[in-house]
Chains A and B, each alone.
Chain A
Amino acid sequence: MNLFMPSIALDPIHQFKVTKWLDFNVGGIDLSFTNASGFMALGVIMTIAFFGVAASKGQLVPSRLQSLAEIGYGFVADLVRGTAGEEGLKFFPFVFTLFFFVFFANMIGMVPYAFTTTSHIIVTSALALLVIAIVIGYGFYKNGFKFLKLFAPSGAPLPIYFILIPIEVISFFARPLTLSLRLFANMLAGHIMLKLFAGFVVSLIAAGGAYVIIAPFAFAMGVALNALELLVAGLQAYVFAILTCVYLNDALHPAH
């Protein structure tokens, strides 16, 4: 399967290419403002603009826009309360930021020719490591060494702990890996599939003859995949946020 077709227009990997928009170098480290940074900034600006405008009036009877923002607020608040309890609400702004950062990045990625920020593992792993750093930091800050009880759930017979503790430790340290890979792989694979099927349509028509008959099927597949990817874009933001809440719950109540 040769994914690297000669034309850039048909290259499914080309969409992930990072290009510099503005050169920016600090102490020999390349911190250029790239297309990745640009679309990330777009997502942030859109989030701030949407919620800023929606929240600005603070009407008692909300407008449609304000209602939408309040639904978003309620959705994330219920998510945090449901998984991490009332105490978890101190992390509500963080989870809210995380959810809408990922959500807007994923949704902007659905627009053709847009860059999908979350399709780069460096971004998703940075976010996942931030979550785990907060879990570990807050876990020790709040519970002290009792936080380590997380690795030794009470109530098991002694010999079991010899197996249980290593499993718990491994599963804990696998969390940032799975958290970052899940989002990264979903966005990457989804966008490759979209590009492949869209590319098939072009290739089939270009090939001419009987191939043209198959082209509409590839096109239909592309449409269906678009719908699926739209779902995945929302779902992965939700999954990222809810898993963050689950991990924060461990920091808040380690002795479960």
Chain B
Amino acid sequence: MLIALLAEIAAQGAEHGEAGKPAFPPFETWHMPSQLFWLAVLFGILYLALSRVILPKLSDTLEKRSDRIASDLDQAARLNDQATEAQQALELRIAQAKSKARETAEKAREKMDAEMAAETSRVDAEIEKNLEAADERIASLRVKAMKNVEQIAIDTADAIVGRFGVSASKSELKKAVTAALE
């Protein structure tokens, strides 16, 4: 459709041109040298301005920016590494501190256990000693009591014998009591 339109325009343009009326302007020849001349001048100016001044500046800016981004990313990665390292060091320190604390607690408990054992054994020994002393005393009291029993028996026997009107010597009484006690 457009081609048909163009063809018609061209045909009519030519027709009118021949008839002295306005020709189809893009096919007029009088302005072509001027069009070419100004195109060359203006395109040249635009090319020089862009290629010599503006584009280098733009590309410079873009390059600077990408450099900056790259260096910033590098720095971020480095800082991240440092942070990771620091964290690992911290974790190590925490673990060390924990194990040290555990050790200290263990030692303290052991020490207390030992002290308690010592105290217990000391107290046990003292009790033992007291018991022994008490046993000895009981034994001596028993001996003493037994002696008293003998004496009482002798005295009693003497008194009983005396009631029967018989006198006996002390040694005889003692011998008899001892025999009876055994």
* Chain A residues near B (Cβ < 8 Å): 1, 3-4, 13, 16-18, 24, 29-34, 36-37, 40-41, 44, 47-48, 51-52, 54-56, 58-60, 62, 66, 69-70, 73-74, 92-94, 96-97, 100-101, 119-123, 126-127, 184-185, 188-189, 192
Q: Are A185 and B2 in contact (CB under 8 A)?
A: yes
A120: chain B residues at CB < 8 Å are 25-26, 35
Does chain A have a CB within 8 A of B105?
no
For residue B72, give the distance in angstroms from its CB to the closest CB of chain A.
11
- In the bound complex, do residue A48 and residue B54 qualify as a contact, i.e. CB atoms below 8 Å apart? yes
The answer to whether the Cβ of B78 comes within 8 Å of any Cβ in the partner chain is no
For the A-B complex with A18-B31, A37-B35 known, give 16 more contacts whose Cβ atoms are closer than 8 Å: A3-B12, A31-B34, A31-B38, A36-B35, A37-B42, A44-B43, A48-B46, A48-B54, A58-B57, A73-B55, A93-B47, A94-B47, A97-B43, A120-B25, A122-B32, A127-B43
Q: Across the interface, do B31 and A56 meet the contact criterion of CB distance under 8 Å?
A: no
Chain B min CB distance to A129 (Å) = 10
CB of A123 within 8 A of CB of B35, answer: yes
A96:B50 contact, CB within 8 angstroms: yes
Whether A122 lies near B35 (C-beta < 8 A) is yes
Q: How far is the CA of A73 from the CA of B46 in the complex (A)?
A: 15
Q: A97 to B40: give the CA distance in the assembly, Å.
A: 13
Q: B-side interface residues toward A, CB under 8 Å?
A: 2-3, 5-6, 8-9, 12-13, 16, 21-22, 24-28, 30-40, 42-43, 45-47, 49-51, 53-55, 57-62, 64-65, 68
Of the candidates A24, A97, A121, the one having the most CB atoms from chain B within 10 angstroms of its own CB is A97
Q: Bound complex: CA of A122 vs CA of B54, how far in Å?
A: 28
CB of B30 within 8 A of CB of A30, answer yes
B98 to chain A, nearest CB (A): 48
Q: Is the CB of B39 within 8 A of A40?
A: yes
Q: Are A36 and B31 in contact (CB under 8 A)?
A: yes
Q: How far is the CB of A70 from chain B (nearest CB, A)?
A: 6
Select one of A30, A56, A59, A127 contacting B33, CB under 8 A. A30
A41-B55 contact in complex given A13-B13, A34-B31, C-beta closer than 8 Å: no
Q: Report the separation of the CA atoms of residues A69 and B61 in the bound assembly, to the nearest whole angstrom.
A: 11
Bound-complex Cα distance A77 to B51 (A): 13
B65 CB contacts on chain A under 8 angstroms: 60
Nearest CB of chain B from residue A64's CB, rounded to whole Å: 15
Contact residue among B3, B8, B55 (Cβ-Cβ distance under 8 Å from A93): B55
Check if B58 sits within 8 Å of A73, measured CB to CB: yes
Contact between B5 and A189 (Cβ–Cβ < 8 Å)? yes
- Residue of B16, B38, B62 near A4 (CB, 8 A) is B16
User: Using Cβ atoms and an 8 Å threshold, which residues of chain B touch A62?
Assistant: 61
Q: Which residue from A13, A47, A59 sits with its C-beta under 8 Å from B9?
A: A13
B34-A60 in contact (CB<8A): no
Q: Is the CB of A70 within 8 A of B49?
A: no
In the complex, what residues of A have CB within 8 A of residue B16's CB?
Answer: 4
Chain A residue numbers with a CB within 8 Å of B31 are 18, 30, 32, 34, 36, 122
Q: Are A17 and B22 in contact (CB under 8 A)?
A: yes
Closest residue of chain B to A50 (Cβ to Cβ) is: B54
| B116 CB to nearest A CB, Å | 74
* A4:B12 contact, CB within 8 angstroms: yes
Given the interface contacts A51-B54, A121-B26, does A185 sit within 8 Å of B60 by beta carbon?
no
Question: Which among A33, A56, A60, A66 is the interface contact of B38 at CB below 8 angstroms?
Answer: A33
Q: Are B9 and A3 in contact (CB-based, < 8 A)?
A: yes
Ordered by A's residue number, 15 sampled pairs between the chains whose C-beta atoms are within 8 Å are: A18-B35, A31-B33, A33-B38, A34-B38, A37-B42, A40-B38, A40-B42, A58-B64, A69-B58, A73-B59, A93-B55, A94-B47, A97-B50, A127-B39, A185-B6
